[in-house]
Every structure is written in structure tokens, then in C-alpha cells.
Amino acid sequence: MPLSGLTVLSLEHAVAAPFATRQLADLGARVIKIERPGSGDFARGYDDAVNGLSSYFVWLNRSKESIALDVKSPQGAEVLRELADRADIVVQNLGPGAAARLGLSADELRGRDPRKIVVAITGWGSDGPWADRKAYDLLVQCETGLVSLTGTPADVAKVGVSIADIAAGMYAFSGILAALYRREITGQGASIEVSLFEALAEWVGQPAHFAAGKGRQPGRFGAQHPTIAPYGPFVARDGHTVLLAIQNDPEWTRFCETVLENPALAQDERFASNNLRVAHRDELNAVISARFAELSTQALEARLAEARIAFAGVNTVAEFLDHPVLHARDRWRDTATEAGSVKALLPPIDLGVEPRMDAVPALGEHTGKILAELGRDPTTLAKSSPQR
């Protein structure tokens, strides 16, 4: 596999770092996950939805090896240092200053081995006025203005997934791949930092440019597009919600002719351009809603397809799980856990080889194996590293 032969040591918890390292594991890297004895990654306790296991942990930690280690004990600190020195890549998303206190700063690790790639995922950056401030996903959504963009005119809303963590994990993953490429050329590793705040700041780039250019806050339009119309959800006669997306004037004309069966509407002075349609959004939505209420979902989708208009069903998560595209493209695999096999989606990067989809580890499952590789007697860490 593309990353076979590489070893990643990760002091990780929650979402951001585990998401980055799981993708490295997907591509064949060996990922050794340091966990707290007794409790482990606190994402293990977020819920019990997957046969008693956390949905977060099952999603983020397949194909990894778990070692339960008290890194603050003298023996645990020795093991940690030895594992860090053997690893190609060291990743951590610990609290401010914690990595340095453990001897895992980029300067210290790369001082011993310039080829090492050392990754820190922080909340607000390792310096600056908020360096010591805690950062959780929703706090970052709020501070970047994302929450102000999400919801309806009456109420703000958060994004329904951990988007700041995911953004930071994606940039950490891509940064590691870039660093590996450079190391092949120069022989030098890298010191990488990704903050949740700056990762999500990049993702709100378009509304940031809009606000700076227009001098005003973008609006909140629920599931409608803020600057394109019609682009949003409408309800068919049978109660199913269909989201349609008109991208240009030729599509608008075809939509009026074929779907609404009202060609004259395309030339209505209120709706003759996208800017005008946005300005008269409420009137436009009323016209479309009235027509959609007369058509079944099947008839409506047939007309949208004939007019070459993009559309989608507004699915529940349960409907997504049974999506025909996922089944037709054979995207599901069985993944083992300590509580039995679960279905998991293949990662979206297709490199022409079957991705690694190994088991989700139990807490400390690989402690004995890893200590034996280091030539250490597992019983010497029995109190600080319980095995399962």
C-alpha cells in the first residue's frame, strides 16, 4: 500500500488528530495510538451507539494499534520516548504545552532525527493571544462566523458534524503527505502545525470575501443558497422534499418550460437574471412551491431530469445508509470491533488498491505486543498499562 513501512505515533483524542491518522492507516501506515490507562481516548465515552461502543471512536480508529501507557510515569515516559524515536511521524493534539512537557516538541524530536515529521494540531495556534485557550469544535464554529451563516433568518445553528475538527484533520493529513514527498527529495522532515481555527477560517473564505466586498453580513437562508435562486428545497405533492439547483439562465429557461410548464415566467422582469431572482426570492419560491405541490415526486424528478436540472432528495441519515450509489459502487465493508463486526464505508480516496479496513482496537489491546517489540517485559508496566 502507498504508506506501507511508515510508522506513526499518535497522542490523540477526540476527532481532529484521530481523523488524520486514520487516513494514514487507511493507506497502509502503522499507527500506534497512545491511550490513557483505564479510560483511553475520551471519545470512547462519547456515546454507546455501536453495540455499546462510541460511534465517534469506531469511525475514527480502525486499523490502529492501541497501547495503554501512563506517559507521566518514569517507565511510561521511557517507552514513549523510544516509540517516538522509532516513528517516522509523530502526531499530537494534546492541550497547550503538554507535548513539550513530555519531550515531544518538534525541536526536540527533530533535533535527534531531522527526518522526522512532527505534527501538532492546536485550537487557536501555538502562539498568539489565544494559545492557552481551550478549543472545541462548536467554539471554533462560533468564532469563525460559521454559526452566523448557518440556520434560518430567525435562528442560528451549528453544522451537524464536527466540521472544525474534520477540517483540521484533513489539513494535517495533506500536510503529512506533502512532507513525506519533500523528505524523499531533500531528506529533511518537517514541523507541521494546523489549528482548528485557521483550518475552518479557510473553509469560510467565500463568505469572508463576500462580507468584505459587500460590507455586510451574508444572510441565513436555511437550506437555500444565499446568492443563487432558485436553489433550495421544495415539497412535492406526496410530502417528499426535493432540492433543486439552478446555476444559470439557460437552466432557468428550461426549468420554466419543462418543469413548471410556464415559459413566460422565464421572461418575467422579476426573475430575468439570477440577481433579480435572489432579490425576489420569496415571490419566486411561492410560484415554485405552488407548482411542486401539484406534482408527485416521481413526476417531478422525471421533469427535472428531462430539463437537465440538478436535483437531490433531502435524505435522512437512515436513507443515506441505504443509498443506491453506495450499494452499486460496493462502498461498504465489514470492520471488526471488540463488540462484533460493523459496516464501514471505504475511504473516498481511490488509488487503485483496496484500502486497509482492519479492526477498531480495544483499549490497550496491543500493549503487550508493542512492549515486546521494544524488548520490554509487559508486566513491568502492569499498573500503568493494563492490558485487555
pLDDT at 165: 98
Q: What are phi and psi of 23, to 5 degrees?
A: -70, -35
Q: Which helix (H) or strand (E) holds 345?
A: strand 342-345
Q: Is 165 a catalytic residue?
A: yes
The stretch 206-222 carries a mean pLDDT of 93
CA 21 to CA 194: how far, in whole Å? 14
**Are the C-beta atoms of residues 183 and 110 closer than 8 Å to each other?**
no
- Band (pLDDT 50/70/90 cuts) for residue 333 is very high
Q: Which residues contact 258 (CB under 8 A, 6 or more apart)?
A: 303, 306, 307
The stretch 318-329 carries a mean pLDDT of 96
pLDDT at 379: 76
pLDDT tens per residue, range 142-191:
999 999 999 999 999 999 999 999 999 999 999 999 999 999 999 999 99
pLDDT at 385: 45
Q: Delimit the CATH 3.40.50.10540 region(s) of the chain.
A: 7-204+332-381
With CA atoms as reference, report the closest residue to 335 among 30, 41, 13, 26.
26
CA 306 to CA 254: how far, in whole Å? 9
CA 257 to CA 263: how far, in whole Å? 4
All three cell numbers of 55: 460511534
**Are the C-beta atoms of residues 242 and 312 closer than 8 Å to each other?**
yes
Q: Which residues contact 171 (CB under 8 A, 6 or more apart)?
A: 194, 199, 202
pTM of the model: 0.90
The stretch 74-85 carries a mean pLDDT of 96
- Band (pLDDT 50/70/90 cuts) for residue 384 is very low
**Helix/strand/coil for 32:** strand
Helices (H) and strands (E) in the chain, counts: 17, 11
CA distances for 160 relative to 164, 256, 388, angstroms? 11, 34, 34
User: Do the strands 241-245 and 231-235 form a parallel or antiparallel pair, or are they unpaired?
Assistant: antiparallel
Crossing angle of the two packed helices 163-186 and 16-26, in degrees rounded to 10: 50
**Are the C-beta atoms of residues 55 and 46 closer than 8 Å to each other?**
yes
DSSP code at position 257: I
Selected catalytic residue, list 26, 88, 137, 165: 165
With CA atoms as reference, report the closest residue to 188 among 134, 113, 299, 87.
113
Q: State in Å, rounded, how far the first CA of the chain is from the last one.
A: 29
- Amino acid letter at 321? L
Residues in the chain, overall count: 388
The stretch 249-278 carries a mean pLDDT of 95
With CA atoms as reference, report the closest residue to 221 among 173, 266, 271, 285.
285
With CA atoms as reference, report the closest residue to 165 among 188, 143, 129, 195.
195
Out of 3.40.50.2300, 3.30.1540.10, 3.30.1490.20, 3.60.150.10, the CATH code matching 231-313 is: 3.30.1540.10
CA distances for 134 relative to 80, 95, 102, 157, 259, angstroms? 25, 8, 19, 21, 51
**Helix/strand/coil for 214:** helix
pLDDT at 377: 84
Q: What are phi and psi of 329, to 5 degrees?
A: -95, 10
CA 379 to CA 385: how far, in whole Å? 9
Strand-pair partners of 342 = 335
State the fold for domain 7-204+332-381. Answer: Rossmann fold (3.40.50)
pLDDT at 382: 53
